[in-house]
Amino acid sequence: MTKISPGDSRHALSFRPRLGRVLKEFGDSKPNGLNLCAIASICFVSLWSLLELPWEVKAGSGYEEIAALLLSKIILLGLAALSIRGGRIARCAFLLICLMSVLAVASEIPLEYERSRTLAMLSTIECLGKLLAFIAIVLVILRNRASAMREK
């Protein structure tokens, strides 16, 4: 068994991010701004959904509501991870969730603003993040499809 010293750079478990590999799995081997924007927006949507969780759980929420909320967060995070890893079906499902969420939440922001400005601001940030993720991923898909068509 090989011992690992603190100065050894060849350790077996490296937790450093490997951006090149992630970008290659995302659909393009060249790190460009569009891929970085899409990955960053997916990560933002994922982190924001976790950050928003305490506000979504109300004091009178039952176990069923909390379980449904947690299951929806797990599904969103799973689809986000799979779409970053390059899964086309997961990417399309993530796009659908982002678009449906924006359509559902954006129409309620003016009513929410009357009740609570804090919740309205949280919902606005959520909508903007999901809209950015939707646009960035669609542009990556269209660019990858166009480059695949040019290669044929």
The predicted pLDDT at position 48 comes to 94
Convert the pLDDT of each residue in 110-124 to its tens digit. Answer: 998 998 898 899 999
**Chain Cα centroid distance, residue 115:** 28
The predicted pLDDT at position 144 comes to 81
**74 domain-assigned:** yes
Averaged pLDDT, 128-150: 89
**11 domain-assigned:** no
**82 domain-assigned:** yes
The predicted pLDDT at position 17 comes to 52
pTM reported for the whole predicted model: 0.76
Q: Tokens for 149? A: 């068509």
Q: Three-state DSSP class for 9? A: coil
Residue 145 and residue 139 in contact, taking contact as beta carbons nearer than 8 Å: no
Greater confidence (77 vs 13) lies with 77
**26 domain-assigned:** no
Q: Which residues of 128-144 are buried (b: 16+ CB within 10 A; e: fewer)?
A: ebbbbbbebbeebbeee
Query: How many structural domains does the chain have?
Result: 1
Gyration radius from the chain CA atoms: 19
Convert the pLDDT of each residue in 67-102 to its tens digit. Answer: 999 999 999 999 999 998 888 899 999 999 999 999
d(CA 134, CA 132): 5
**25 domain-assigned:** no
The predicted pLDDT at position 110 comes to 92
Structural domain harbouring 131: 31-151
d(CA 36, CA 41): 8
Percentage of the chain exceeding pLDDT 70 = 78
Convert the pLDDT of each residue in 17-64 to its tens digit. Answer: 555 555 555 655 555 778 888 999 999 999 999 999 888 887 667 899
**85 domain-assigned:** yes
The predicted pLDDT at position 20 comes to 56
d(CA 55, CA 78): 22
Q: How confident is residue 15, by pLDDT bands cut at 50, 70 and 90?
A: very low
Write down the mean pLDDT value for the chain: 82
